[in-house]
Structure 1
Amino acid sequence: MSFLDEDTYRLTETSSDKTYGYNRANPVNVGGSGENSGPLNERRFLNALLGPNGERVGYHRAGSCCGFKTPNGFMGEGMLDKYRMYWEGGKDTLDIYVNMYDKGDLKVPVGFTAKK
Structure 2
Amino acid sequence: MTKKLFLAGLVAISISCSSSKKISETANQVNDDNAFVITEVATDETYGLSPKNPVEVGGVRESRGPLNEMKYLDLLTGPNGEKISYYRAGSCCPVKSENGFMGKAMLDNYRVTWKNSKDTVSIYINMYDRGELKAPVGFGIKKQVYN
Aligned residue for 2:70, secondary structure, equals helix
Structure-to-structure mapping, 1:96-107, within 5 angstroms: 96-107=123-134
Aligned residue for 1:34, secondary structure, equals coil
- 2:37 paired residue number: 10
**Mapped partners of 1:2, 1:46: distance in 2:** 15
Deviates more, 1:71-80 or 1:51-60: 71-80
**Unaligned segments of structure 1, at least 5 residues:** none
**Mapped partners of 1:48, 1:5: distance in 2:** 14
Task: Give the alignment partner of residue 118 of structure 2, picking from 91, 95, 101.
Answer: 91
> TM-score, normalised to structure 2's length?
0.74
Deviations 1:19-57 (Å, cap 9, x if unpaired)? Answer: 000110000011111111111110010000000000000
Aligned residue for 1:43, secondary structure, equals helix
Aligned residue for 1:35, secondary structure, equals coil
8 Å contact from structure 1 (residues 10, 115) kept in 2: no
- Give the deviation of 1:4 after TM superposition: 9.5
Structure-to-structure mapping, 1:59-98, within 5 angstroms: 59-98=86-125
Distance change (3 Å), C-alpha of 1:25 and 1:52: same
- 1:56 paired residue number: 83
Deviations 1:74-96 (Å, cap 9, x if unpaired)? Answer: 22220000000000011110000
**Unaligned segments of structure 2, at least 5 residues:** 1-28
**Mapped partners of 2:90, 2:80: distance in 1:** 28
> TM-score, normalised to structure 1's length?
0.93
Distance change (3 Å), C-alpha of 1:69 and 1:39: same
Task: Tell me how many residue pairs correspond in the alignment.
Answer: 115
Aligned residue for 1:11, secondary structure, equals coil
By relative contact order (CA 8 Å, sep 6+), the higher-ranking structure is: 1
Paired-residue identity, %: 55
The one-letter code of the counterpart of 1:44 is K
Following superposition, which runs of at least 4 residues in structure 1 exceed 3 angstroms of deviation? Answer: 3-6
- Which is richer in helix? 2
- Which is richer in strand? 1
**Mapped partners of 2:32, 2:121: distance in 1:** 24
The one-letter code of the counterpart of 1:95 is S
